[in-house]
Amino acid sequence: MEAMKEMVEQELGELRQTFASGRTRSMKWRKRQLSAIIEMVKEKEDEICKALFQDLGKHPTEAYRDELVKGKVISEPLGTVLIMSSWNLPISLCLDPLIGAISAGSTVMLKPSELSPNASSFLAKTIPTYLDSKAIKVMEGGPDISTVLLQHKWDKIFFTGSQKVGRIVMSAAAQHLTPVTLELGGKCPTILDDRSISGDIKTAVKRISGGKWGFCSGQVCVAVDYLLIEQRFASSLIDMMKQTIKSFYGENPKDSGCISKIVNKNHFFRLSRFLNDPHIKASIVHGGFTDEEKLIDIEPTILLDPPLDSEIMTEEIFGPIFQLLHQLRDIQESVEFVRSRPKPLALYVFTKDNNLKTRILSETSSGSVTFNDVMIQSICEALPFGGVGESGMGRYHGQYSYECFSHEKAVVEGNLAVELEARYPPWTTYKLSFIRLSFLEDIFGLVLLMLSERLHTTRLQVNYDTNMNRNSVAKSLYTTELRLFSVVVNYSSLNIIVVIQS
Amino acid sequence: MEGMEEIVEQSLREMRETFASGRTRSVKWRKTQLAAIIEMVKDNEDKMCDVLFQDLGKHSTEAFRDELGFVMRSATTALNFLDKWVVPRKSNLPLLFYPAKGQVISEPYGTVLVLSSWNFPISLSLDPLIGAISAGNTVLLKASELSPNASAFLAKTIPSYLDNKAIKVIEGGPDVATILLKHQWDKIFFTGSPRIGKIIMAAAAEHLTPVTLELGGKCPTIIDHHSVSKDMKSVVKRISGGKWGSCSGQACISVDYVLIEQSFASSLIDMLKPTVKSFFGENPKESGCLSRIVSKKHFQRLSRLLNDPRVQASIVYGGSMDEEKLYVEPTILLDPPLDSEIMNEEIFGPILPIITLRDIQESIGFIKSKPKPLAIYAFTKDENLKTRILSETSSGSVTFNDVMIQYMCDALPFGGVGESGIGRYHGKYSFECFSHEKAIMEGSLAMDLEARYPPWNNFKLTFIRLAFREAYFKLVLLMLGLIKK
């Protein structure tokens, strides 16, 4: 532990020094690092796939598709940042935020998850050979090293993981007033309004199935967690899903080579525990087989209406178990169902009914909403990716990544040539009037005011219209000798009436 | 306390119900509330100036400039631009996603908590309130107990102008704040000290509540007298205004200390003295233009800073204090020790340390050795120095050749970095501060790509590779079977 603390302090010290040197601010440096990441991913593709297979049993296609990275631009780097990533997409959830941090010109400490040890050691070994190792460092380890890291002050912390750990990270960040981005999870609901999409139901079912089982066996923050449908549709849906699962994985999913495994025994037992609950067991309509030896399975499993208060319905599943909730008499009830639960990271809705779409958009809240598809919002760089409420705070991807690691500094250029007495005490009626008119950006009034000072007027009378939008201001200028003129300025209709009297 | 717990729970319940009803989402509702804020300020101008005088001894001109006028302008801006701000932002999706469409919509967080500070108790309450309302939230406001008259005014007056099922005011001190912070909010907006900011953020962490913390720090002011020698009179005036002209230096963006080359220090002091006199006359205490210190506690804090014998020795102007009247004379120090408390804490009072350097370029290193401030002020026309300041230091904002005006400009984000704060507001940034930007993707069921689904094979892998590279032509070739997998 002592040695670890020393190591962290040393590494952090070097990162800060590097940042202070200004090296990471140069565009040239940033572009070079970003190119190096691309090069690394290209050259080491096989090794990456191997590591992912060892950690998660990921098929290379899944590995390629999901662990992709891109990058972007700048304002002012926050400084030295900490990135802690999750085990389910261990390459992309490290490199993607890393790309954002580099784009922003920050120095970075990366701590991959110890639950994906092969990916973690690959990154720890390879990153230093491609990237500037005084500016970008990788540290391996589990909760003990995270604790040491979190004791230090960072200029930003980017965390991907569970809500429970998210709270710990934010509490630690609070001690140093460190801004955080927390990419957490939640139960991503899917609403299937089969009536309005009847012609395309096959595609919908395929997409939903892909969204449950096609990505790390459901162990993804944006995986389809549960499905809401109308009662009468349940049995057709189950039949269609069974067929789809077969088309994906054949008769024997664990032999298909196309399904990721559960990451470790802990998570496996977590999921098994769900399934062993007698109430849950009773609701299994497909699958349910678990194989502790191979840790692959938990085969693709479908539950029909597990009890709403069961653990499986209150916790994020993060596994290949799909709950179908079909007690809705009308799909409109799904809106209230979603609202009564914590805000999810993503909400998927298959419908062509514009009314339902509007209701969902305005009556629910989530990180994102995707209509008629699943998960594509997370690979679309043009859209911000992040949660709200318990599903997270902050966002990244594309330009948002580099904003995430930047501080947008306001810069104002004052002018020493123009000096306004009204800015300074001692306060007088003149100065107060001046300030009032300045706030209204009433140039004309200001001119009149300054004129009135020159002419030694006794007063300037300013009446506002109560509806400032119409911006009608009546001003009268009085001098000691004569009432010079009255001016009514109506900005909305651009009328200026000048009355000169003597 | 029992009573207070119940009040908080009841208020929260009502605000959540109101939010759930959808009423606060309508642009019409938001505009009505914003217009009501303007009306409230207009109708109660005298009363507001009164409470600000009672709490802080603020002159009505200062009160108007820093609080009333500012709030009215902020509400007017929101009223005028709200229709634009609520419009969803269309996103240009890559061709790969065709025919899907993307956009980003702003939605209110829900029920938010605004905790404001005592130095600008009206504007620091109403300005965030304006942001929260523009974004369609329900709001609970707790003003600071250190400005009790302003707090009482808000508690009494807001309900008669605004929708009191959606916008509520609670009064009280740390005990009330503690109760409030135990609950789950959808957003917390806090203005105050870094010390309390940490407590707020830690409490927010329990519920994963996002926060905006407008904190403080020591705002340094660099005077590069070489390049602004012709305008020194204005420079000195602006710096003096920035130290003593707004709430007697008790502002997060007040000039905290000055950095100047040694050779010019005494000229600077010679210019500052008559400027102070021109502002406040021979007897600032009686001028009516200098705010007082907010409380005995803060007075004693400033006393303690000045009573350090080494700091006392550095006084070149002022230094007198009157505990009964909570008055601290405009005071100038020349080179107080850098390890003294006054040079390591945000002063938040009418004491101006002047720190001398051999070369003004050293000011960069000096600033960098301290926590990131909310604002840096630099009086210089030297482009090199400007560039160095911008690229080598970090702060919430940088203002050249003026002070504090960044606060007034609502086209600019106002907020800190590092220990000076998290998040920002003013103008459209206020709207964004209280909004969640939700990504919306409209997929199409018409086209489906087999490459999306298992079982995996080389074709699908090649397809995905090409898709990610957006190599559309090659994708077409692949699908036509014209290239190898």
Q: Is A350 on the interface with B (CB under 8 A)?
A: yes
pLDDT category at A458 given cuts 50, 70, 90 is: very low
Residue type at B447? M
Of B244, B390, B461, the CB nearest to A64: B461
Quick check: A494 pLDDT over 60? no
State whether residue B410 sits within 8 Å of chain A by CB: no
Find the mean pLDDT for residues A107-125: 96
pLDDT at A497: 45
Residue A66, pLDDT score: 52
Distances (CA, A) of B287 to A425, B113, B125: 10, 38, 28
Extended beta strands in B136-285, E state: 138-142, 167-170, 187-191, 211-214, 220-223, 257-261
Asked if B110 lies within 8 A of A166 by C-beta distance, the reply is no
Question: By three-state DSSP, how is residue B96 classified?
Answer: helix
Same structural domain, A51 and A67 = yes
Size of interface A-B (CB pairs under 8 A): 279
pLDDT at A59: 62
The count of domains in chain A is: 3
CA distance A350 to A379: 19
The confidence score (pLDDT) of residue A349 equals 97
Answer whether residue A335 shows pLDDT above 70: yes
- The answer to whether residue B84 scores a pLDDT higher than 60 is yes
Are A132 and A207 found together in one domain? no
By C-alpha distance, the chain A residue nearest B58 is: A427
> Is residue A471, in this structure, part of any structural domain at all?
yes
Let me know whether A240 and A362 are in one domain.
yes
Please name the residue of chain B whose CA is at the shortest distance from the CA of residue A373. Answer: B443
Q: What is the pLDDT of residues B208-218, one digit of tens each?
A: 999 999 999 99
pLDDT at A58: 66
Say yes or no to pLDDT of A212 above 60. Answer: yes
pLDDT for the residue numbered B409:
82
Q: How far is CA A78 from CA A10, A141, A178, A207, B83, in A?
A: 20, 25, 10, 39, 33
Shared domain for A155 and A243, answered yes or no, is: no
Mean pLDDT, range A296-309, rounded to an integer: 86
Tell whether A302 is covered by a domain: no
> For residue B168, which amino acid is it?
K
Q: What is the pLDDT of residue A26?
A: 85
Kindly report the CATH number assigned to the domain that includes residue A380.
Answer: 3.40.309.10
**Per-residue pLDDT band at B485 (split at 50, 70, 90):** low
Axis-axis angle for helices A429-439, B69-85 (nearest 10): 0
pLDDT at A60: 60
Q: Which residues of B touch A412 (CB under 8 A)?
A: 397-400, 402, 405-406, 409, 412
Confidence of residue A486 (pLDDT cuts 50, 70, 90): very low
- What average pLDDT does the segment A6-22 reach? 88
Domain boundary among A372, A407, A442: A407
What pLDDT, in 10s, does the model give residues B90-100? Answer: 988 887 788 88
Q: What is the pLDDT of residues B328-379, one digit of tens each?
A: 999 999 999 999 999 999 999 999 999 999 999 999 999 999 999 999 999 9
Q: Which residues of B360-378 are buried (b: 16+ CB within 10 A; e: fewer)?
A: beebbebbeebbbbbbbbb
Longest dimension (CA), chain A: 104
Judge whether B196 is closer than 8 Å to chain A, CB to CB: no
CB contact under 8 A, B245 and A439: no
Nearest residue of B to residue A59, measured between CA atoms:
B456
Residue A353, amino acid? D
Q: For strands B187-191 and B111-115, give the pairing.
A: parallel
Residues A356 and A448 in one domain: no
In a domain, A459, yes or no: yes
Q: Is there a single domain that holds both residue A63 and residue A155? A: yes
Domains of chain B: 1-215+425-437 (3.40.605.10), 220-409 (3.40.309.10), 450-480 (no CATH)
Instruction: Identify the closest residue of chain B to A431 by CA–CA distance.
Output: B61
pLDDT of A206 strictly over 90: yes
B105 CB neighbours in chain A (<8 A) are 361
Name the band, by pLDDT with cuts 50, 70 and 90, for residue A480. Answer: very low
The CATH number of residue A140's host domain is 3.40.605.10
Is A41 a residue whose pLDDT tops 90?
no
Please give the ipTM for the structure prediction.
Answer: 0.94
CA angle, corner A28, sides to A25 and A34, nearest 5? 90
Say how far apart CA B109 and CA B90 lie, in whole Å. 21
The whole-number average pLDDT for the span A359-368 is 96
Confidence of residue A293 (pLDDT cuts 50, 70, 90): confident
Q: What is the pLDDT of residues B457-466, one digit of tens each?
A: 888 888 888 8
Q: At residue B469, does pLDDT exceed 60?
A: yes
| Band of residue A2 on the pLDDT scale cut at 50, 70, 90 | confident
CB-nearest to A68 from B204, B245, B468 is B468
DSSP string, A236-249: HHHHHHHHHHHHHH
- Contacts of residue A257, Cβ cutoff 8 Å, sequence gap at least 6: A59
Residue B466, pLDDT score: 84
> Closest chain A residue to B26 measured between Cα atoms?
A362
Instruction: Please state, for a pLDDT cut of 70, what percent of chain A lies above it.
Output: 86
In this predicted structure, which of A42-51, A139-148, B116-125 has the lowest mean pLDDT?
A42-51
Rounded mean pLDDT of A324-333?
Answer: 90
pLDDT at A478 over 70: no
Q: Where are the beta strands (DSSP E) in B206-282?
A: 211-214, 220-223, 257-261
Q: What does the block give as tokens for A341? A: 């639960």
Inspect the interface and report whether the beta carbons of A61 and B443 lie closer than 8 Å: no
Q: Is the pLDDT of residue A493 over 90?
A: no
For chain B, give the percent of residues with pLDDT over 90: 86
Residue A77: is the preceding peptide bond cis (ω within 30°)?
Answer: no
Higher pLDDT: B7 or A7? It is B7
Across chain B, mean pLDDT equals: 94
Phi-psi region of B24 (alpha: psi -120 to 50; beta: other; left: phi over 0): alpha
The verdict on a CB contact (< 8 Å) between B400 and A466 is: no
> Which pTM was predicted?
0.90
Query: Is A75 part of a structural domain of the chain?
Result: yes
Residue B452 contacts A, CB cutoff 8 Å: yes
A89 and A210 both lie in a single domain: no
Q: Looking at residue A254, what is its pLDDT?
A: 77
**What average pLDDT score do residues B145-172 get?**
96
Q: Token pair of A198, please? A: 């009847």
Catalytic positions of B, please? 214, 252
How many H helices and E strands in chain A?
Answer: 18, 20
Q: Residue A293: inside a domain, yes or no?
A: no
For chain A, positions 23-82, list CB contacts with chain B under 8 A: 25, 59-62, 64-65, 68, 76, 78-79
* Average pLDDT estimate for B270-294: 95
- Does the distance separating the beta carbons of B453 and A388 come in below 8 Å? no
pLDDT at B201: 98
The answer on A113 and A223 residing in a single domain is: no
One domain, residues A172 and A211: no
Inter-residue contact A114 to A142 (CB < 8 Å):
yes
Structural domain span for residue A220: 189-261+318-386
> A147 and A104, same structural domain?
yes
- Of A210, A371, A468, nearest to B76 by CB-CB distance is A468
Question: Is the predicted pLDDT of residue A307 greater than 50, yes or no?
Answer: yes
pLDDT digits (tens, 9 = 90+) for A44-85: 778 777 877 777 766 665 655 555 322 222 289 999 999 999
Distance, in Å, from the CA atom of A14 to the CA atom of A12, rounded to the nearest integer, reads 5
- pLDDT tens column, B420-458: 999 999 999 999 999 999 999 999 888 888 888 888 888
Q: Any CB–CB contact under 8 A between B235 and chain A?
A: yes
Those of residues 465-484 in A touching chain B at CB distance below 8 A are: 466-469
Residue A395 lies in a domain: no
Q: Average pLDDT over chain A, rounded to whole? A: 84
How close B135 gets to chain A, by Cα (Å)? 13
Other residues' Cβ atoms within 10 Å of the Cβ of residue B60: 18
Report the C-alpha gap between B245 and A260 in whole angstroms: 66
- Same domain, residue pair A199 and A97: no
- B288-303 pLDDT, tens per residue? 999 999 999 999 999 9
Q: Do A425 and B210 touch (CB under 8 A)?
A: no
Task: Inform me whether the pLDDT recorded for B116 exceeds 50.
Answer: yes
Burial of B98 (0-12, 13-18, 19+ CB in 10 A): exposed
Q: Which residues of A touch B403 (CB under 8 A)?
A: 414
- What pLDDT does residue A128 have? 96
As given in the structure block, the two tokens for residue B330 are 């405009």
Mutation pick from B90, B453, B465 vs chain A, by most beta carbons of A within 10 Å, is B453
- First CA to last CA across chain A, in angstroms? 91
By Cβ distance, the residue of B186, B390, B443 closest to A370 is B443
| DSSP 8-state class, residue A177 | T
Mean pLDDT across the stretch B142-153? 97
Cβ atoms of residues B41 and B69 within 8 Å? no
**pLDDT band with cut points at 50, 70 and 90 for residue A437:** confident
A42 and A111 housed in the same domain: yes
Residue with the larger pLDDT of the pair A54 and A251:
A251
Instruction: Please give the angle made by the CA atoms of B232, B235 and B237, to the nearest 5 degrees.
Output: 110
